[in-house]
Amino acid sequence: MTPVLNVSNLTTRFKSRERNKWITAVDDVSIQIGAGEIVGLVGESGCGKSSLGRTIVGLERQQQGHVVLDGTDLASLSGRALRERRRAIQYIFQDPYASLSEWQTVGETLTESFVIAQKVSPDQYDARATRLLDQVGLPTQMKDRFPRELSGGQRQRVAIARALAVEPSVLICDEPVSALDLSIRAQVMNLFLDLRRDLGLGILFIAHDLALVRQAATRVNVMYLGRIVEEGTSEQVHRHARHPYTRALLASVPQADPRIAARKGFVTLAGEIPSPVNPPSGCRFHTRCPLVQDICTRVPPPVQGEGGHRFACHFRFADEVLDQIHQGYVHAG
Amino acid sequence: MTTQNVVEVSDLSVDLLTKGGALRPVDRVSFAVGRGETLAVVGESGSGKTVMNFAPLGLMPVGVAVQISGSFRIGGVEIAGMAENRLRHIRGRSVGVIFQDPMSALNPLRRIGRQIAEVAERQRGLTTMQAERQAEDLLALVGMSDPAQRMKQYPHELSGGLRQRAMIASAIAGEPPLLIADEPTTALDVTIQAQILALLQSLQKKLNMGIVLITHDMGVVASMAHRVAVMYAGRIVEFGDVADVLVTPRHPYTLGLVNAIPREEDLSGSPFRGIPGLPPTMGAPVEACAFAPRCDVVMPVCRTRRPPLQALPQSSVLVACPVGIAQAGQRP
What single-letter amino acid sits at B249?
P
Contact A252 B194 (CB under 8 A): yes
Helix (H, G, I), strand (E, B) or coil at B37: coil
CB atoms inside a 10 Å sphere around CB A104: 14
| Residues from chain A contacting residue B193 (CB–CB below 8 Å) | 252, 254
| Residues from chain B contacting residue A236 (CB–CB below 8 Å) | none
Residue of B nearest to A253 (CA): B190
Segment A110-141, tens digit of pLDDT: 999 999 988 889 999 999 999 999 999 999 99
Q: Are B278 and A153 in contact (CB under 8 A)?
A: yes
Regions of chain A where pLDDT drops below 50: 329-333
Percent of residues in chain A assigned helix, strand, coil, to nearest 5: 40, 20, 40
Segment B276-305, tens digit of pLDDT: 888 787 777 778 999 999 999 999 999 999
B332 has a pLDDT exceeding 60: no
More reliable by pLDDT, B70 or A211:
B70
Q: Given this model, what pLDDT does residue A331 score?
A: 41
Residue of A nearest to B280 (CA): A151
Q: Given this model, what pLDDT does residue A298 score?
A: 96
| Residues from chain B contacting residue A215 (CB–CB below 8 Å) | 262, 266-270, 272
Q: Given this model, what pLDDT does residue A16 score?
A: 74
Nearest by CB to residue A186, choosing from B243, B246, B274, is: B274
Contact A193 B189 (CB under 8 A): no
| Residues from chain B contacting residue A187 (CB–CB below 8 Å) | 272, 274, 276
Global pTM value: 0.90
Q: Given this model, what pLDDT does residue B2 score?
A: 45
Of A22-31, B96-105, B170-179, least confident by mean pLDDT is B96-105
Q: Say if residue B241 is exposed, middle or buried (CB neighbours under 10 Å; 0-12, 13-18, 19+).
A: middle
Give this complex's ipTM: 0.86
Band (pLDDT 50/70/90 cuts) for residue B15 is very high
Q: Given this model, what pLDDT does residue A46 score?
A: 85
Kindly provide the b/e burial profile for residues B261-286, where b requires at least 16 CB atoms within 10 angstroms of the residue's own CB: bbeeeeebeeebbbbeebbbebeebe
Average pLDDT score over residue span B191-217: 93
Mutation test of the interface with chain A: which of B189, B205, B215, B281, choosing the one with the most A Cβ atoms within 10 A? B189
Band (pLDDT 50/70/90 cuts) for residue B331 is low
| Residues from chain A contacting residue B260 (CB–CB below 8 Å) | 182-183, 185-186
Contact A252 B160 (CB under 8 A): no
**Measuring CA to CA, which residue among A333, A239, A30, A84 is closest to residue B196?**
A333
> DSSP readout, A68-130?
EETTEEGGG--HHHHHHHHTTEEEE-S-HHHHS-TTS-HHHHHHHHHHHHT-S-GGGHHHHHH
Backbone angles phi, psi at B4, to 5 degrees: -80, -15
More reliable by pLDDT, B329 or B200:
B200
Q: Given this model, what pLDDT does residue A99 score?
A: 84
d(CA B214, CA A11): 41
